[in-house]
Structure 1
Amino acid sequence: MDIAMITIGSRGDIQPFLALGQALCRRGHHLGVAAFPRFREDVEKLGFSFFPIRGDEDRMMKLLIGDGVSGIAYMNGLTALLNRNKREILDDVYDACRGADLILYTFLGSLAYHAAESLKIPCMRVNFWPADRTGDNPMPGMPALPLGRWYNRLTYDLSGVGFSIFTNQELNGWRAGLGLSKWAGRSYRTLSGRPVETLCAYSEVLAPRPKEWGEHLHLTGFWFLEERAAAPVEKGLLRFLENGDPPIYIGFGSMVGGSFAELQDIVLESLKSTGQRAVLSSGWRKFDAAGLPPNVYGVDAVPHGWLFPRVKAVVHHGGAGTTAAGLRAGKPTLVVYFGGDQQFWGNRVYRAGAGPRPLARKGLTAKRFTRALELLEDARLRQNAARIARRLAQEDGCENACDVIEAYMTRFAV
């Protein structure tokens, strides 16, 4: 089976697809991945076909997950982002879908929905957070107000209205060229009057399945990329890890919003106050590695699956994948969230007793960060994180997702 994967976003959006792709390849399927050009090497080194999607990923992250980006600001940013080169993105997505037997797409890859409709190819959504209507909690990224279940459900409806930004003349012109009717803001959750099968790539351990959800929504567990057991790392990092107490990991992945010089100052001041050792990881925005104190070691990309078991706690932006990796390693977790679904995952960690209450990057101070680092020392957090790790070890999200995909395609072929 030829499967097209459409993922528009950061490393946190593409890495789960690469993990799933590994499992699908073991079952004899062929993968094609459409993503931003910076991920070509990651895709091709696993033997998958790569389809570039034109766009400015740094600008995307700043508009969509900058400091304190609200739900409304998110949609405004998405509009600005896609309007810049929407036709090119539409064409890139369509080209990546042609010839596939199945299309998988993320929230930001929902333009593949139109390609699937035109090409008459079955498609499945992939969500990294609860993105379907429930009264249990508001849509991640929307304000959490104490108004009850009716309000929580409403936030999902509002997000659907917001995502109908694609109901403009250019999209409808593109659809007309594909032989499709005008797009009138219908929900991306249904196609041809039926719910779109959906893979929820996270674990019930952190986000239990809402009772009101239909059978087309499948919680598979997190998708972890298989990393080499002996991942090559620099000798300086190995010496730092071996010559002292286990450090804290601190890194913010693909976040690009706000002043990273200010953030580094906050981090270093807090580490000095608490006497902690730390591995400080640069992501899309680089920290200034020059002149770091002896208790802090600066790195670029280091596989989380290798590094996290070697630290005593993790501090990060709260992306679903990094959250899962930290808890899989049994580490207490502090989330400093920038936007999107990150506060949601930070709150899930806090409610599970595996970390302090999450902190907003906007308005973060050294005093608040220092207090949170002190709370990470609580033995109860370590115990709860270890308990979660044992439960996550019993799940195989990628294999579960493969089972769902193959069962769905069997039904579709009948």
Structure 2
Amino acid sequence: MRLTLITFGTQGDCRPIVALGLGLRDAGHDVLMLGERSAAPLAAEHGLPFAPMAGDIQQTLEPGGALHKLMTEGGNVAEATRAFGRIAEENTEAWMAQLAEAARDADGIVFSGLTAYVALSVGEQLGKPVIGAGMFPISPTRDFPSALLPPMRMPGWANRASHAVINFVLWRMFRNATNAARAKLFGVAPRRAMWRDFPSLYAVSPHLVPRPRDWHADWLVTGAWNMPPQPDWQPGAALRDFLAAGAPPLYIGFGSMAGFDRQKVVNAMVRAVDGRRALFYPGWSGIDVSALPASFHVIGATPHDWLLPRVAAAIHHGGAGTTHAVAAAGVPSIVLPFAGDQFFWAGRLAALGVAPAYVPGHRIDPARLASMIAFAERSETRGKAAALGRAVAAERGVEHAVAAIGRYCAPGSA
């Protein structure tokens, strides 16, 4: 089959789609990925056909960008609506035109994140099967509230209602741009209701989020979608020597997060780490690593499946990809969420006892972070993390997703 994959977002959004594309290719399918430009090198490294899309997600996270306020003041639905609405207005027509051309001869479309209504529109007009690919659950359930709300305890009816409200807000902030592009490109009337009940595959561990019993039969929890292991990968001499020189260090990294109060975060982590050995991955943060103490060893992009089992605990932002990688490594997490679903994952890890209660990244201070590190160092926390790691590492998320896509996109399934 010929399949077109489309996503737009940070590295945490794009990496799982690259992993899925590789799994589909290895199963004998022809795959084209449309994605945010920063994913191009990863796709090229693995020989996955890739076309960059309009827009620059890193720019939206920087000061003045659409998502900057979320990084510095915390995530709330109203601010997210304004921020993502701007992204929709700037890019929807270009995305829709590009996907319509790319998927013309495809047997199916798999979409993720901000490209949902673009993909559903194109699939509808071309008569193609369309499958959602989620990095966090958005399908309504009584089991838990929307992942885009801070974790809270509510009755089942309120949980389900929260999904309906948030999903309506998401539709409303993309609706005008979606309908304008549909009218211009396809000459169709405005769509008033959002799409429902299309197949959705969640790149989520069932050990972190068990599949709700009240979900539609075509909403599946497959397990995380990880890049293939690199058995021949070797660290540079500096990293190898640092790891060999003492006890397992802390890992600190905030992935694609940018635009937050760097000085506040650096001050908190340096004082809270308090001389412990630490590996620091700057990512997109823009943090000046020259100011870090000698106990910090700065690293570049390093395979998580190699690195994380060699650390004592991981301080991170709670992105879905990093959350699953740390869980699979069997080490505790210390989560400083900034926006979006990061609060959901922070709450999930805390509920499992493998992380302390989270503190939002924009509110962190040395005392709070020191207390969180102490929780992660407890033997009980380490034991729970190790048990979770064994379970998550045994999952085969990409394989399950590839099999499901094969069923949904088989002839006559549209």
Please tell me whether the aligned partners of residues 282 and 301 of structure 1 are also in contact (alpha carbons under 8 angstroms).
no
- Give the whole-Å Cα distance in 1 for the aligned partners of 2:49 and 2:374: 46
Superposition pairs of residues 135-214 of structure 1, within 5 angstroms:
135-164=142-171, 165-168=173-176, 171-179=178-186, 181-188=188-195, 190=196, 195-214=197-216
Q: 2:317 corresponds to which residue?
A: 317
* 1:109 alignment partner, SS class: helix
Determine what percentage of the aligned residue pairs are the same residue: 30
Structure 1 residue 39 displacement after superposition: 1.7
Task: Summarize the alignment of residues 380-391 of structure 1 with structure 2, pairs less than 5 Å apart.
Answer: 380-391=380-391
Q: Which residue matches 1:246?
A: 248
- The one-letter code of the counterpart of 2:346 is G
CA distance in 1, matches of 2:363, 2:256: 20
8 Å contact from structure 2 (residues 151, 344) kept in 1: no
Q: Which amino acid aligns with 2:243?
A: L
CA apart distance, 1:411:
6.5
**1:123 is aligned to 2:130:** yes
- TM-score, structure 1 as length reference: 0.93
Hey, what does 1:28 align to over in structure 2? 28
For 2:245 and 2:389, the matched residues in 1 are separated by: 26
Equivalence map 1:352-391=2 (5 Å): 352-391=352-391
Q: CA deviation at 1:180?
A: 5.5
- Equivalent-residue separation in structure 1 for 2:186 and 2:57 (angstroms): 31
Answer with 347-356 or 385-394: which moved more.
Answer: 385-394
Q: Work out which of the residue numbers 68, 71, 78 in structure 2 matches 1:66.
A: 71
2:101 matches 1:101: no
Deviation at residue 294 of structure 1 after TM alignment: 2.1
- Distance in 2, matches of 1:171 and 1:129, equals 23
Alpha-carbon spacing, 1:174–1:293, altered in 2? closer, same or farther (3 Å): closer
Q: State the SS of the aligned residue for 1:399.
A: helix
- Deviation of residue 147 (structure 1)? 4.2
Q: Which residue of 1 aligns with 2:272?
A: 270
Query: After the TM superposition, which of the residue ranges 11-20 and 173-182 deviates more from structure 2?
Result: 173-182
Structure 1 distance, partners of 2:141, 2:237, is 49
For the residue of structure 1 that corresponds to 2:407, the secondary structure is: helix
* Paired letter, 2:163: Y
Q: For residues 56 and 327 of structure 1, what CA distance do their matches in structure 2 show?
A: 30
RMSD: 1.8
| 2: CA distance, partners of 1:296 / 1:229 | 27
Q: 1:144: how far off?
A: 4.3
TM-superposed deviation, 1:227: 3.1
Q: 1:78 aligns with which of 72, 78, 84?
A: 84
Change (3 A) 1:197 1:411: farther
How far the C-alpha of 1:206 sits from its partner, in A, is 0.7
Deviation, 1:292, is 2.6
Query: Whole-Å Cα distance in 1 between the matches of residues 218 and 383 of structure 2?
Result: 35
Structure-1 separation of matches of 2:150 and 2:229: 36
Q: Is the 8 A contact 2:145 2:163 kept in 1?
A: yes
Q: What residue number does 2:94 align with?
A: 88
Return the letter of the residue paired with 1:213: W
Question: Which whole-Å CA distance do the structure 2 matches of 1:92 and 1:178 have between them?
Answer: 11
Alignment partner, residue 5 of structure 1: 5
Which letter maps to 2:248?
Answer: P
Provide the secondary structure at the position in 2 that maps to 1:338: coil
Distance in 2 of aligned mates of 1:338 and 1:249: 18
Residues 116-137 of structure 1 deviation map (CA, whole Å, 9 limit, x = unaligned): 1111111100111110111221
Deviation, structure 1 residue 45:
2.2
Structure 1 pair 92–233 and aligned structure 2 pair: CA distance change class (3 A): farther
d(CA) in 2 for partners of 1:12, 1:95:
26
State the match for 1:288 in structure 2.
288
Distance 1:408 1:52, change over 3 A: same
CA contact (8 A) 1:52 1:92 kept: no
Q: CA deviation at 1:157?
A: 1.3
After superposition, what is the alpha-carbon deviation per residue over 1:196-244, rounded to whole angstroms, capped at 9, x for unaligned?
Answer: 1110111110111111111010111111111312324332111111111
Q: C-alpha displacement at 1:359, in angstroms?
A: 1.5
Q: Secondary structure at the match of 1:389?
A: helix
Give 3-state SS (helix, strand or coil) of 1:28's partner: coil
Find the aligned partners of 1:301 and 1:261 in 2 and give their Cα distance: 22
Conserved in 2, the CA contact under 8 Å of 1:269 and 1:366? Answer: yes
Instruction: Return the offset for 1:305.
Output: 1.3
Per-residue deviation, 1:56: 2.1
Q: What residue in structure 2 maps to residue 216 of structure 1?
A: 218
Match of 1:225 in 2: 227
Check the 8 A contact 1:276/1:295 in 2, yes or no.
Answer: yes
More deviation in 388-397 or 242-251? 388-397
Alignment-mate amino acid for residue 87 of structure 1: E
TM-score (norm 2): 0.93
Letter in 2 for 1:77: A
CA deviation after TM superposition for structure 1 residue 143, in Å: 4.2
Q: Distance in 2 between matches of 1:144 and 1:271?
A: 27
Q: Deviations over 1:386-410 (max 9, x none)?
A: 1111112332011111111112223
- Code of the aligned partner of 1:209: R
